[in-house]
Amino acid sequence: MKVYDFPDKQGHFGPYGGIFVAETLIAALEELRVQYERYRSDAAFQAEFAHELKHYVGRPSPIYHAKRWSAQLGGAQILLKREDLNHTGAHKINNAIGQALLAKRMGKSRVIAETGAGQHGVASATVAARYGMECVVYMGSVDVERQAANVYRMRLLGATVIPVESGSRTLKDALNEAMRDWVTNVENTFYIIGTVAGPHPYPMMVRDFQAIIGREAIGQMQEEYGRQPDMLIACVGGGSNAIGLFYPYLDSNVRMIGVEAAGRGIETGQHAATLTTGRPGVLHGNRTYLIQDEDGQIIETHSISAGLDYPGVGPEHAWLKDSKRAEYAGITDDQALEAFHALCHYEGIIPALESSHALAYAARLAPQLAREKLLLVNLSGRGDKDMATVAQASDITF
């Protein structure tokens, strides 16, 4: 079997990825690429990263057997990789720490970030406080409104949150604005991208920092179950938690399924199911699948979960789809909400709405499979941030 070794030197995953940015950003990306290459194989850097993940984040995150829910579904066993138990409540912190350690070594005193649901913004604000750096977070004004609690958390942590009023005022516009900040302040500023998208080396670097999820899972599964799961299931917006789980398994035979936001239904056009409905193009520094119109303009997406509400997807997912190594499916807002409530009810765990998409897919699949089958679902974040959204969906006001 050929060992998986993407991306190539220029950051390509097959036809996807690459560096599609204006000349003004090239030097900054080159500096980042060189520095990351250096620290990627630097024992002291990796040791500090591992130390922070253990003592600050609280890793390893456990694998939890959702026995009651599995029994209720009446089929395969659902196992949860508990990224929701990380410090700050989601997988985003793994990558934020990795990039902040790199920023520190590169002598950057200021970090910026874009955020959708706010989880990556909170993670960035957290590490900026932890390492004593200034932090500016760009967030679409629509998201600022629907994730008010996370906005307050970022401010408590000392970050400046800048609402972005351009375009659709969501994650993609926050990304545009963060890029603009970076190109203007590149000398003292490190841009912490939160997902496996953007120009090379970001998709590779974020993947590497998130791959701790899959590496832990391989060891934990062997130790606790004596074998690997039959299937990995993770939600995909940009796709960082999914890549983090999938990547260490790429050379195995384990099936992997990425679950996108089908929003109000694929047929309504109000969704964020990029790999299911999009076609390749160039946005935010890389070539990948995009949700776009016939002129190549990027279309506004919809998902009940702000973290999945993105018209692109990481280029490595585009490649895994085309090469058929991973499969991708859609889950609607309603299906995700149903799984959200089920996990609360049967397991006493409040999942993030993003992760609820992966849970919903597992819930549909499990009853069709034998009881011995093991589905490992990445529970990428906790749902405390989603209280207002879920309450509103149930017509409850506080």
Partner 1 sequence: MSRIPAVFDNLRQQHRKALIPFITAGDPEPAMMVPLMHELVKAGADIIELGVPFSDPMADGPTIQRSSERALKHHVGLRNVLAMVEEFRRDDAGTPVVLMGYANPVETMGYGTFSARARECGVDGVLIVDYPPEESAEWVKHLLARQIDPIFLLSPTTPQARIERVADMAQGYVYYVSLKGVTGALNLDLGDVAAKLTQLRSSISIPIGVGFGIRDRATARAVAGLADAVVIGSRIIEEIENSPKARILTNVYGLVKNLRTAIDEAGPKH
Q: Which is nearer to partner 1, 85 or 174 (CB)?
A: 174
CB of 282 to partner 1, least distance (A): 4
Q: Which is nearer to partner 1, 12 or 153 (CB)?
A: 12
How many Å apart are CA 107 and CA 109, to the nearest integer?
6
For 165, phi then psi, to 5°, come to -100, 0
CB of 138 to partner 1, least distance (A): 12
CB of 180 to partner 1, least distance (A): 5
Q: Which is nearer to partner 1, 172 or 317 (CB)?
A: 172
| Maximum Cα interatomic distance, the chain, rounded to a whole number of Å | 57
**Residues recognised as catalytic:** 92, 114, 380
CB of 169 to partner 1, least distance (A): 12
How many Å apart are CA 233 and CA 355, to the nearest integer?
10
Question: For residue 357, what are the CA distances in angstroms to 47, 134, 251, 284?
Answer: 34, 34, 25, 25
CB of 14 to partner 1, least distance (A): 14
Q: Which is nearer to partner 1, 10 or 252 (CB)?
A: 10
Binding site for partner 1 (CB under 8 A): 10, 18-24, 26-28, 166-167, 172-173, 176, 179-180, 183-184, 186, 280-285, 287, 290, 292, 294-298
How many Å apart are CA 193 and CA 235, to the nearest integer?
18
Contact partners, residue 295, CB within 8 Å, separation at least 6: none
Q: Which is nearer to partner 1, 5 or 295 (CB)?
A: 295
CB of 25 to partner 1, least distance (A): 8
Burial class (CB in 10 A: 0-12, 13-18, 19+), 22: exposed
Element at 338 (helix H, strand E) = helix 333-347
Question: For residue 362, what are the CA distances in angstroms to 210, 355, 366?
Answer: 22, 11, 6
SS3 state of residue 27: helix
Q: Which is nearer to partner 1, 52 or 114 (CB)?
A: 114
**Strand-pair category, 255-263 with 231-235:** parallel
How many Å apart are CA 84 and CA 381, to the nearest integer?
4
SS3 state of residue 359: helix
Q: Which is nearer to partner 1, 153 or 271 (CB)?
A: 271
CB of 15 to partner 1, least distance (A): 11
Radius of gyration, alpha carbons of the chain: 19
Q: Which is nearer to partner 1, 271 or 357 (CB)?
A: 271
Contact partners, residue 83, CB within 8 Å, separation at least 6: 61, 90, 91, 213, 241, 378, 379, 380, 381
How many Å apart are CA 213 and CA 188, to the nearest integer?
31
CB of 292 to partner 1, least distance (A): 7
How many Å apart are CA 198 and CA 201, to the nearest integer?
8
SS3 state of residue 74: coil
How many Å apart are CA 24 and CA 12, to the nearest integer?
21
